[in-house]
Structure 1
Amino acid sequence: MTDTYTDLLACEDLLLFAAAAVSSTGQREFHTGADDQRPALDFLHEYVHGTLPDLYGLMLALHVNDHNAARIVHTLLSRPRPSADPATRVRENGLIGRRLALMPPQRVYRLFRRLAAERVNNRRTRAVMRAWLARRPLALDALKYRAGLRAAARHARVPLPAEVARFLFSGPAARRARPYTTPLLESHRRAHYAARELYGLPFTVAEGFATHHRVPRAVFLEGIAERTTAAERLRLDRGARRLGLDAPLTDLGSAPLLRLCVYVLGLPVAERRERRAELEAALERAALRTAGPLAGTWPRTAAVLDDSYSSIGSPVRRNRPLALALACHHLLRALSPDGSSHWLSGRADPLTARPAGPTRLTETILDALDTGPSRVVVVSDGYDDTPPLLSDALLLWRRRVDPERSVTMVHLAPVLDTDSLAPHRLSPAVPTIGLHDPAVLPSLVELARFGEERLGLADLRAHLLATADTLLAADRPEEAP
């Protein structure tokens, strides 16, 4: 490795930023408040953009969460670098387009409204907005995201279809004055007068009309089921069951793994036991789908999973850390069928997991190592009850018991420690990376290699460039100037 000491520091800084950008959303967590999270993230974005500007945009190729991806896009558009070489600019444009295509539309419109309010009006910003809007169902967005679409269309000077423009820029009376030829807009116009018309609208729009027309909730849910998204059906499933609908609103196994785990943990323990066969089958299907072609390919892996009281999260992210642990349990079983899971509570039934008890990681990690795995994955916020004991035990294990690194260990943390501007580390002997979505766990384990001090900035740069080029080759969006 030919990296200088400065390069090694830069590599460490970039990994620290990646860990924070994957895990933190600037919201309140169990150990830290939102007011502590936001300044820490602000500093990291400013620092990496200022010191490693050529690599800052490449972070969009990693699995940073949507909150930080939107922040990176905002920075790239509002503070362009005139000195960037053409190849870097083309790659950044491609990554911006691809990441915006993957984001929830409401978050993209929030970003566009911010850019418009700040009068970020350069050619690149307008081109990014136009390219994204060109792929959107504008009639649907006019109903669901009216303010965002209106602001983006004005700012980027996007010519809209006549009826969409009329719906967006006219007053209520003018919008309903004459019929539309666009079915969705016409259904919205008629739904003001007839309850039967609301079933042609998206769920979030139809719900208001159902209240206006005093449609019984059970009747409304049964009638609107085909117009709901998968996430909406999962969220409404419990309510529909309570109302006695004959069939559930959704096939649970088709839901994203993390959403399904959040749903399961929201059920009373007694109901989870009663529906055990259904829920376990759905979790297994979701995990196998998430693992994809990697299913069954991992070496023997031991998972150490945190179900201590702090895994309850916060009121705004309730049970999120525990849901991530449950999702990783099922995903790692799909990736490594002969692996094992070790819960801090000693729990043998993951379906009935609940946040309780102390955080005693040392004993659980040692128990996991006793099973003879090739890889250990620790999913925890890292706030152990006896930090010195944990750190010293892992250092001793790495230096004296396994100096050849025959067993790899990685710590995945779902929260940010604002004091260190990174997820809370277990020990210098174990690389730590943030975790926001279990679907990207395999790539995070790969990224953690760079935290073991065996690879430097040149290797990390090559990894980021290769990841970006692979993503863009698979799905190349329209490039902005």
Structure 2
Amino acid sequence: MDLSELVACEDVVMFVNAAVTATGQREFHEGADGQRLSLAFLHDYVRTNYRELYAATLALDINEHNAAAVALNLLRTSGEVPLAQRRLEGRLIAARLATMAPQRVYRLLRTLRAEGVNNRRTRAIVRDWVAARPDVAFDAVKYRRGLAAAAAHAHLRLPDEVGTVLFVWKRPKRYETPILESWRRAHYEKDALFELPYTVAEGLASTRRRDIGRAEFLRSIAPRLTELERLRLQRAGGGKVDVALDRQPLTRLALFALSLPRPERARRREELTAALRAAARRAAGRRAGTWGDVVAVLDDSYSSSGSAVKRRRPLAVALATHYLLAELGARYRPLWLNHAGDPLLVHPAGATPLGERLLDALELRPERVVVVSDGWDNAPPGQAAEVLRVWRQRLDPDGRTSVVHLNPVYDGDAFDVRRLSPIVASVGVRDAEDAAALVELARFATGTATFAELRAHLSERVEGFLR
């Protein structure tokens, strides 16, 4: 592979790593402004130089923040590419929007309106997405501003009563649509408040016209809560509501477990462990037991506490990956940097002695070593890279043990996730359940695969995604 292909591979993998991990928010070692600037540069650079592959990343496990940014950038500049490519981009954007949270999509649609992006393809994508919504009257209540902006910008035809709610100041005496009638009555009747979605009801309940205690409000609105809203309320300490743990994705469940005080985790050990193992089995799927002998090096240093806006997320990814690897591996052994004992009681503390733990892991000579860490090796600095260099050059030149580094934290200064060593692949990860698919990208991060193979891999993912 010549130098230009090597650079292209590195550029695309670097962008995928960023698009998986970065959300433009503050991290433990970095502020939000620097990360946003770094991410904006990466989007512009990859879109300009590798537009076809930039669009193809919509078929990968990039996070919704970056998926929305990719869609916005492609629609902004659709005049730069031929008709056939615009059609493919439109299909990719439409397919990705269908998988995203509605509030994220409505935010994107409002941005398109604010920037005056109103070409025919944009209007078609907006029209089809709104038409596919299961209940547009529900959206008129819960996502009122977003739906109004989308309807005005794309000239959508909405049901008469929905249009009245969005664009007519004077309300009728009665709506025939049940949720719209509940919304109208909720401005004056307390009981109607609890027929609305939680976020709408909470906003109305907080107005001065109402005197509803928090406990009474949560008790009455409980039947209307989604599973995610229940989990967020519990994690934030906003109230006591029942949470169905058996329905939660693996990383979200790990975040919930870590939000609980350690004594409560100990008291609920059997319940939480069973839920985490069940979620890991669902995430592993057909890959369960296929990874052979696996050893994990898991970072629970103080920096894994994350930031105020991403509290404990790096540690949650490590904990969730622990349970996932236990299902993927035929044999599995975890090595936490500082913690010993029940992994459910792990907490962020201490330095980051990655080199020491890597020595312990490699001494076991497994088929695969998986490192989950933000990459800030500091006890002592650089030891992990030296351990890996000596291991690969002197002790295991044939590569009998594969090593991959999963990093849940974006490093804006490097425009990538922080790497442990040039000879070991580092891939970004946001949700542990995506780890198995993301490891497939690892071979493109070390220069061992060609640019043609990377293009073929992305084309295959695009075809599967659009099917």
2:22·2:410 contact (CA, 8 Å) conserved in 1?
Answer: yes
2:184 to 181, 189, 203: 189
Match of 2:18 in 1: 20
Q: Write out per-residue CA displacement over residues 78-98 of structure 1, whole angstroms, 9 at most, x where no aligned residue.
A: 011544361x43332222112
Q: TM-score with structure 1 length normalisation? A: 0.93
The reply to whether residue 463 of structure 1 matches residue 460 of structure 2 is: no
The two structures, once aligned, show a CA RMSD in angstroms of 1.7
Deviating more after overlay: 189-198 vs 129-138:
189-198
Superposed, 1:236-385 pairs within 5 Å as 236-237=233-234, 249-385=242-378
Match of 2:388 in 1: 394
2:441 to 441, 447, 451: 447
Q: What amino acid maps onto 1:431 in structure 2?
A: A
Secondary structure of the equivalent of 1:339?
Answer: strand
The reply to whether residue 201 of structure 1 matches residue 199 of structure 2 is: no
1:195·1:209 contact (CA, 8 Å) conserved in 2?
Answer: no
Match of 2:9 in 1: 11
Q: Write out per-residue CA displacement over residues 231-286 of structure 1, whole angstroms, 9 at most, x where no aligned residue.
A: 0111234789975xxxx522112112111111111111111111111111111112
Superposed, 1:74-153 pairs within 5 Å as 74-84=72-82, 86=84, 88-136=85-133, 137-153=135-151
Provide the rounded CA distance (Å) in 1 between the counterparts of 2:81 and 2:219: 57
Deviating more after overlay: 447-456 vs 294-303:
294-303
Secondary structure of the equivalent of 1:452?
Answer: coil
Q: What amino acid maps onto 1:156 in structure 2?
A: A
Tell me by how many angstroms 1:452 deviates: 2.6
1:37·1:418 contact (CA, 8 Å) conserved in 2?
Answer: yes
Secondary structure of the equivalent of 2:400?
Answer: coil
Match of 1:479 in 2: none
Q: What amino acid maps onto 1:364 in structure 2?
A: R
Structure 1 spans left out of the alignment, 5+ residues: 474-481
Tell me by how many angstroms 1:222 deviates: 3.0
Q: Give the number of aligned pairs.
A: 463
Q: What amino acid maps onto 2:45 in structure 1?
A: Y
Cα 1:189–1:365 shift into 2, 3 Å:
same
Provide the rounded CA distance (Å) in 2 between the counterparts of 1:346 and 1:235: 27
Deviating more after overlay: 190-199 vs 421-430:
190-199
Cα 1:81–1:454 shift into 2, 3 Å:
farther
Q: TM-score with structure 2 length normalisation? A: 0.95
Match of 2:158 in 1: 160
Give me the identity figure in percent: 51
Structure 2 spans left out of the alignment, 5+ residues: none
Tell me by how many angstroms 1:224 deviates: 2.2
Tell me by how many angstroms 1:23 deviates: 0.8
Cα 1:461–1:334 shift into 2, 3 Å:
same
Q: Write out per-residue CA displacement over residues 145-186 of structure 1, whole angstroms, 9 at most, x where no aligned residue.
A: 111111111111111110000000122xx22x3111111101
Match of 1:170 in 2: 168
Q: Write out per-residue CA displacement over residues 100-127 of structure 1, whole angstroms, 9 at most, x where no aligned residue.
A: 1111111111111111011011111111
Tell me by how many angstroms 1:348 deviates: 2.3
The reply to whether residue 403 of structure 1 matches residue 397 of structure 2 is: yes
2:392·2:399 contact (CA, 8 Å) conserved in 1?
Answer: yes
Provide the rounded CA distance (Å) in 2 between the counterparts of 1:35 and 1:81: 30
Provide the rounded CA distance (Å) in 2 between the counterparts of 1:165 and 1:83: 36
Q: What amino acid maps onto 2:26 in structure 1?
A: R
Q: What amino acid maps onto 2:466 in structure 1?
A: L
Deviating more after overlay: 75-84 vs 413-422:
75-84
Cα 1:402–1:275 shift into 2, 3 Å:
same
Provide the rounded CA distance (Å) in 2 between the counterparts of 1:90 and 1:387: 49
